[in-house]
Amino acid sequence: MDRKTIVYFILILFTWSSAKAEDGYRLWLRFDKIENEVLKDYYQEQIQYIFVDGSSPILNTASNELSTGLSGLLGHPIPLEQQPQNKAGIIVGLIGQSQLITDLVPKEKATAIQEEGFLLFYHPTNKQLLLAAKDERGILYGSFYLLRQIQNHQPIDDLNLLNNPKIKKRVLNHWDNLDRTVERGYAGFSIWNWHELPEFIDQRYIDYARANASIGINGTVVTNVNANSLIFRADYLEKAAALADVFRPYGIQLYLTARFSSPIELGGLETADPLDPQVQQWWKDKTAEIYRLIPDFGGFLVKANSEGQPGPQEYNRNHADGANMLADAVAPYGGIVMWRAFVYSEEEPEDRAKQAYNEFVPLDGKFRDNVLIQVKNGPIDFQPREPIHPLFGAMPQTPLMMEFQITKEYLGQGTHLVGLSSIYEEVLKTDTYVKGEGSLVAKVIDGSLDGHKLTGIAGVANIGTARNWTGNLFGQADWYAFGRLAWDPYLDSKTIFREWTRLTFTHDPEALNTIVRMLASSHETCVRYMTPMGLHHIMAAGHHFGPGPWVSQMSRADWTSVYYHKADEKGIGFDRTSTGSDALSQYSATFRQQYSDPNTCPLPFLLWFHHVSWDYKLSSGRTLWEEMCYTYHQGAMEVEQLQESWEQLRPFIDKARFQQVKMHLKIQVKEAKWWRDACLTYFQSFSKMPIPSELEQPLHELQYYQSIIYPYAPGIRPRW
């Protein structure tokens, strides 16, 4: 059977699988035939064959993706030729390895290509489209980019695009346990079936790798940050190696979470002290074992001395001592350590928002060159809205790695439509002012602000065993957006939303604009009905599902809601200025100046930084209490508008996926009103002020909302 025939049968198989009912499984990789005949003819004129100069696992992946994707889009097989042809087509190759590509690509363009970057260049003389890179991953990413251009119906005959990633380590963090439960996962169980590995390789693993590679993600941590030492046992390492083998042809490195006490629990040592020679040797030996099985192993992600996880502080050592020990173990193999800055002590701090800064800033410059400090976007914990973390810009000698949450722990979990790209963009484009105006968080992360070469960004994955991967269909947009912003943190959300909508749903202008508006407005809507004006961490205890502003009885104060909102008869909000916890002092002078005065503090962060009286007059002319009432009601009303907008799209969306979203929006409408009424009824018990008469009044007394329990919330065992 010749190569053309093989490609033809692949196309038949692809078309057969595509013809099945839509359920969201294909994500944004939907290479269906272009219906517009003019467009289809245009692309067919430009692409009549593919020639890939070279062969390797990653290059072969790129070849297959190009051939299969283009064949599906154009409706007939696009052959992979053994030699370049005298007709319009795509020539693919590596600078310095492919003589043809090296000769055709102008030197000034070739020298501008960076690691994992690519050049898509229409050669005016040869009438060929060139895809060039300096490494194989660049070819793979360029292949998916070209397919995306065609899926988005963009021209390709004038391409002159140099595209380099701005961040080196673009990683998904799975909070997946070895028993297949997922911490803060709302799309089913873990996709990693450790029981059947290494012998059984689920097709889902391959499709997962494809999806990540298509948006430039180059690493994945497959185990929970609340780590289990068993992953380092020989049999589990063999299982992990099987996954690494699947990921490798898609340019994805596998990482593991390291439980700091593993030398005790697995190695039989009496201590895990990072300065103990025996402990250091145990980690070096274990690391060597891992690299024998997984030669391209990425390294370790570590959560230490946080929420009960063991760490170096138990031995009177600091975070640098712990991180450097592991960094020394992986350094000979090119590995890295991602050390999380999400820490808070066993003792209750004066303000939890300050602790990471207090622990890490004194260690600036003391970490090894292959250590990244992984910092959550805000100082508390993935709230619907937080100010930027004060560590960004505060550790110029240490590369900081952004940690975003893709799964929606505090944002409605698996049921609410919330376009997280808006959060990501807001954070990345916030100015730290540490080196004057323009010191954006994005510049801290991509290394340009302080000249760091090792850079990284992580997203806590929202992937599970749900057929559509993310449970809520619109959760796919969050996964997609993370990948796009990990590649280029300066992209704007509306561009990303528009891309994803075209790739996933429709090109119809009316429907496209409607879905983009829904996604673009949805984050602000969520903040309005959950935590407006800087309120935060007022969710129910434990599972964080639903409102719980009254939560006060927990084993430590900073796990309660009342710790954060501090509502009393005088007002509401956490004073973080010099008259309160002084957390604001951890930011730059310009930042402090803007936020320290309630009159100049942006309204979205007013109650984060200030305790404000209920009758305080805002620029809107309303009192704080009135503004709170109107904002909660506006949020709930906007969810109903989302529901109405989706209903108008029925003619444009396939039945199965339309129904998925419709059912989730129905839940979101109900829960937004629940949030509104529960929070306003509770806070009214302090303000003693009426909810404006023109607004819908709560149906129940406060005791009713406080009595609601949700035994079915994900991760909670039913209590009857």
**Residues 204-239 pLDDT 10s:** 999 999 999 999 999 999 999 999 999 999 999 999
- Residue of 494, 384, 496, 375 whose CA lies nearest to 441: 375
Better-predicted residue by pLDDT, 4 or 337: 337
Mean pLDDT, the chain, rounded, equals 95
Note the pLDDT of residue 344: 82
For a pLDDT cut of 90, what percent of the chain falls above it? 92
Q: Is 506 a member of any domain?
A: no
Quick one: CA torsion of 355, 400, 543, 545, rounded to 10 degrees? 110
pLDDT value for 347: 73
State both tokens at 282: 């145990």
157 included as an active-site residue: no
Do residue 150 and residue 278 come from a single domain? Answer: no
pLDDT over 80 (residue 11): no
115 and 181 part of one domain? no
Instruction: Give the residue among 214, 271, 259 at the shortest CA–CA distance from 61.
Output: 214
Same domain assignment for residues 145 and 197: no
Structure confidence at residue 7 (pLDDT): 39
The domain boundary residue, chosen from 135, 163, 191: 163
Listed residues 482, 500, 518: the one ending a domain: 500
3-state helix, strand, coil in the chain (%, to 5): 45, 10, 45
Q: Mean pLDDT throughout 385-408?
A: 98
- Residue 508, in any domain of the structure: no
Q: Is pLDDT at 10 greater than 60 in this prediction?
A: no
Here the CATH number for the domain that contains residue 194 is 3.20.20.80
364 and 282: one domain?
Answer: yes
The answer on 234 and 150 residing in a single domain is no
pLDDT in tens, 534-561: 999 999 998 999 999 999 999 889 999 9
pLDDT for 125: 82
pLDDT(183) > 70: yes
Question: Span 352-369, mean pLDDT?
Answer: 97
Provide the residue type at 9 as one letter.
F
Binning pLDDT at 50, 70 and 90, where does residue 66 land? Answer: very high
Residue with tokens 């064949």: 71
- Yes or no: say if 224 and 217 are a contact pair by the CB < 8 Å rule: no
On whether both 116 and 130 belong to a single domain, the answer is yes
How many structural domains compose the chain? 3
For residues 173 and 123, state if they share a domain.
no
pLDDT at 418 > cutoff 90: yes
**CATH no. for residue 624?**
3.90.1330.10
Of 381, 508, 558, 582, catalytic = 381
| 139 and 183 share one domain | no
- With a pLDDT cut of 70, the percent of the chain lying above it is 96
Give the pLDDT score at 716: 62
Q: Quick one: pLDDT at residue 144? A: 98
The residue-averaged pLDDT of 106-116 equals 96
Decide which of 163, 193, 228 is a domain's last residue.
Answer: 163
What are the φ/ψ torsions at residue 385 (nearest 5 degrees)?
-150, 135
Nearest Cα to 279, choosing from 291, 265, 289, 298?
A: 265
Average pLDDT over residues 115-124: 94
Inside any domain, residue 514: no
Question: Is 409 annotated as catalytic?
Answer: yes
Domain co-membership, 407 together with 336? yes
Query: Do residue 203 and residue 261 come from a single domain?
Result: yes
Residues 203 and 347 reside in one and the same domain: yes
Residue 612 CA to its chain's centroid (Å): 34
Catalytic residue among 196, 235, 307, 346: 307
pLDDT band at 21 (very low <50, low <70, confident <90, very high): low
Is residue 369 very low, low, confident or very high in pLDDT (cuts 50, 70, 90)? Answer: very high
Q: What's the pLDDT tens digit per position in 485-523?
A: 999 999 999 999 999 999 999 999 999 999 999 999 999
SS3 per residue for 125-174 = CCCEEEEEECCHHHHHHHHHHHHHHHHCCCCCCCCEEEECCCCCEEEEEC
- Let me know if residue 333 belongs to a domain: yes
State residue 9's pLDDT score. 40
- pLDDT computed for residue 18 by the predictor: 42
Residue 229 belongs to domain spanning: 169-500
Is the pLDDT at 352 greater than 60, yes or no? Answer: yes
Whether the pLDDT of residue 70 is over 80: the answer is yes
Residue 716 lies in a domain: no
Residue 467 lies in a domain: yes
**Residue 664 maps to a domain:** yes
518 in a structural domain: no
Given 409, 425, 499, 638, the catalytic residue: 409
pTM: predicted TM-score of the whole model, two decimal places: 0.96
333 and 209, same domain (yes or no):
yes
